[in-house]
Amino acid sequence: MSGSLGQRPWITAPATAAVLDALEGAGGPDCARFVGGCVRNALLGRPIDDIDIATTLTPGQVTQALSAAGLKAVPTGIDHGTVTAVSGSRPYEITTLRRDVATDGRRAVVAFTDDWTLDAQRRDFTLNSLYARRDGTVLDPTGQGVADARAGRIVFVGEAGRRIAEDALRILRFFRFRAWYGAGPPDAAALSACAALKGDLKALSAERVSRELLKLFAAADPREAVGLMAGCGVLGELLPPPLDLARFNGMVAIEEDQLFETDTVLRLAALLPDDQVAAGQLAERLRLSNAARDRVVAALAPTPVFKSWMSPREIRRHLYRLGAQAFRDRAKLAWARAGRTATTPQWRGMIALGEGWTPPAFPLSGRDVIASGVPKGPMVGHVLAEVEAWWIDHDFLDDKLSMIEKLKSVAQGMAF
């Protein structure tokens, strides 16, 4: 035993009690324990997101026990022993104790066991190999998990290289947990193993890589972890060179200083070179959503070049052309590259203007062009584009009569 969590609300909640009662009704007292993140975060005073439970019951027994108790059982990972219980509208991931039989760096063949120590030994890090009984008693089979969690040490269970060989994604998980929970010097054995085995990342599915990478970028301050990734060559295995660590660090800094929300997609864009083709290819390779792909590509356009001293008129012109999202992204990337300087108020004002100004709709249409004497066909679009450019250059003139006069002037100068 390694202390107690006490009776936390998430432990004593009726929905949690219903799941534990169902499992213990089938397997007896202590057949089910909380495991992993909920135990770790409770020890550290961090918010509890997911409640995971480990059990000596087989998946079939778990399903039967939940159904008998009137709870929904979803076979979310049945081959690996995982059943999700739904109780009080909340999901509880329940996994049978396991030991690895064979691994290939991407997936593991497991056998079920009733040995808690064997289950702990197959987990990734000591701070994730913690269990807690429903009375709050914490159990630490590795003997290091509680101390490592409290000290911010991200240490592999057993030999680091062996854990990574079982699943190469653990390389990215090492840096992700370093970003979220790490303190003090990084574990040398872990860092060395990640560097030595970084080539194994190529065998992983794009979805697993992108999901882990974005979770890493979502940490409040991932700068040190990302710097370590770059230093040992891991980041270069995933993203196209040249990587812009300075801009990435600047992006995190301005989000922190200016109380902007953490934006994982923009942090990713900040790391990448200003190459829209390469960015699009990377987004496809990482299987990013269409919306995320489009954002990254738009954010990395080489023009227009944003400067802190742009006039309100120029800001409005860019905002109209780019749209609100791309404008904000481009402004933040330019600010991040510039760093923390005396121009911070100008950048802040630029973004505020972009958020507070609604671009007007261009008041003319093809019908107006035709009415001015231009015949139907491609010329209509050319005339309309020239008048719109004039309208933008005149700071979105709110005078339709003047615009009609300009339209007539342009139309008269065209050869049909």
Do residues 57 and 31 make contact, with C-beta atoms less than 8 angstroms apart?
yes
Q: How far is CA 74 from the centre of its chain?
A: 26
Could you tell me which residues come within 8 angstroms of residue 192 by beta carbon, excluding any fewer than 6 positions away?
A: 160
In angstroms, how far is CA 378 from the centroid of its own chain? Answer: 45
- Flag residues of the chain having pLDDT under 70: 1, 101-109, 342, 415-416
Same domain? For 143 and 218 the reply is no
Number of domains observed in the structure of the chain: 4
Do 35 and 94 lie in a common domain? yes
* Cβ-based burial of 199 (10 A; exposed 0-12, middle 13-18, buried ≥19): exposed
* 342/210 same-domain check: no
Q: Residue 194 has what pLDDT?
A: 98
Domain closes at, from 219, 238, 257? 238
CATH number, domain at 201? 1.10.110.30
Based on the domain organization, do 75 and 64 belong to the same domain? yes
Compute the radius of gyration of the chain from its Cα atoms. 28
> CA nearest 416: which of 382, 391, 390?
382
**Quick one: pLDDT at residue 106?**
59
Alpha helix ranges (H) inside 30-113: 37-44, 59-68
Q: How far apart are CA 130 and CA 142, in angstroms?
A: 8
Q: What is the DSSP letter of 156?
A: B
- For residues 244 and 272, the answer to whether their CB atoms sit within 8 Å is yes
Q: Which of 119, 164, 111, 139 has its CA nearest to residue 40?
A: 139
Same domain, 394 and 299: no
- Residue 317: what pLDDT? 96
What's the pLDDT at 78?
A: 82
What does pTM read for this prediction? 0.90
Question: What CATH number is associated with residue 10?
Answer: 3.30.460.10
CA distance 6 to 137: 7
185 and 170 within one domain: yes
Which string of b and e fits 271-287 if b means at least 16 CB within 10 Å? bbebebebbbebbeebe
Identify the domain containing residue 168 by its residue range: 152-238
